[in-house]
Structure 1
Amino acid sequence: MCAGFVVGALATATAFGAEVSVKLSGMNEVPPVTGSAAGSGMFTVGDDGSISGSVTTTGVNGTMAHIHAGAAGSNGGVIIPLVKEGDTYKTPAGAKLTPEQMKALKEGGLYVNVHSAAHPGGEVRAQLQ
């Protein structure tokens, strides 16, 4: 099964070892951010917790991006800082989720967030589910 990280879709179980897509929007931020900023990307999560992939944004002057712990509607702490390369943010080599973070991922309790100077708490976000 290949489940996507698709915002606005019904939650499904995450398939490990498969590529999954993510779409970021300001309306998914807590609180919501209005504007034209958006993003999309792809991540691969291995059975061992290894995670690789990236997101690319448009319409936002991003300063940093992370994978965070937190369910939809709530904010949480940083799990994995992403590496900025222009408008693309990549997982660092060797990034790995703990067993607890893998469980949270399966339950929709992780999200990717791109921050900006205008919105330091986050300008675009997508749940990983």
Structure 2
Amino acid sequence: MSLPRNLVYAVAGASTALLALPLLPANAGHTNSVLEADLNGRAEVGPDKRIAGDPNGRGEAYVFGIDNDPNTLCYVLTVDKIGTAVAAHIHEGPAGSNGPVVVNLAAPADGNAADCLTEGEEGKFVGDQTVAEILANPADYYVNVHNAEYPGGAVRGQLAPQR
């Protein structure tokens, strides 16, 4: 389930309508940062620092800014081999540690979710983190997806600059 390196998927639409659009290669004059995370259940940790996620679960997340809009963060999220997702978030925290939710993402109930979120949008950004902080310090943030069997998180992945 890997997107080709030369494609980034942006989302556009009104209210709940989403449309995935292939863009030019990330290095073709765009100034937006593209982050990625490989999600798996073995990266999810419980309060005792033991593996707490779905051992078969996997997925990918792409998180990126939009040129000339420093307050909007977009994402594409895919998961596989987990029960139906009920929530997804970006959390602040280094690998191996749990941290608070900073951005609420759409649950990939059918295995896929995508959206663009703007700072100040009700119910999306939690606390005082900004898009700029997330894009500038990806190692300080992770994406995780929750389901009924793994309410603390079925899969998780640390954000990093796209390879």
Give the TM-score band, short-chain normalised: 0.7 to 0.9
Distance in structure 2 (CA, Å) of the matches to 1:34 and 1:93? 28
Aligned residues: 114
Call closer, same or farther: CA 1:91–1:67 in 2, change over 3 Å: farther
SS of residue paired to 1:27: helix
**Counterparts of 1:81 and 1:108, CA distance in 2:** 18
Q: Distance in 1 between matches of 2:135 and 2:97?
A: 14
Give CA-to-partner distance per residue, 1:17-68, whole Å, 9 cap, x none: 1333321011111132352110013221357253101211001121110011
Which letter maps to 1:50?
T
TM-score normalised by L of structure 1 = 0.73
Larger Rg: 2
- Give the TM-score taking structure 2 as reference length: 0.59
Which residue matches 1:94? 118
% of aligned pairs identical? Answer: 29
8 Å CA contact retained: 1:81, 1:91 = no
Partner of 1:80: 103
Unaligned runs of 5+ in 2: 1-30, 120-124
* Pair 1:58 & 2:90 matched: no
Residue 23 (structure 1) aligned with residue 38 (structure 2): yes
How far apart, CA to CA, are the structure 1 residues paired with 2:100 and 2:77? Answer: 19
Shift of 1:89: 2.8
Aligned to 2:143: 112
Residue by residue over 1:64-116, the C-alpha shift from the partner in whole angstroms, topping out at 9 and shown as x without a partner, is: 100111111111111111113521233453257517x7168516110000011
Contact 1:49 1:102 in 2 (8 A): no
The verdict on how the C-alpha distance between 1:74 and 1:45 changes in structure 2, with shifts beyond 3 A counting, is same
Asked if structure 1 preserves the Cα contact closer than 8 Å seen for 2:92 and 2:141, the reply is yes
Which runs of 5 or more structure 1 residues have no equivalent in the other structure?
1-15
Letter in 1 for 2:118: G
Contact 1:68–1:76 at 8 Å: present in 2 too? yes
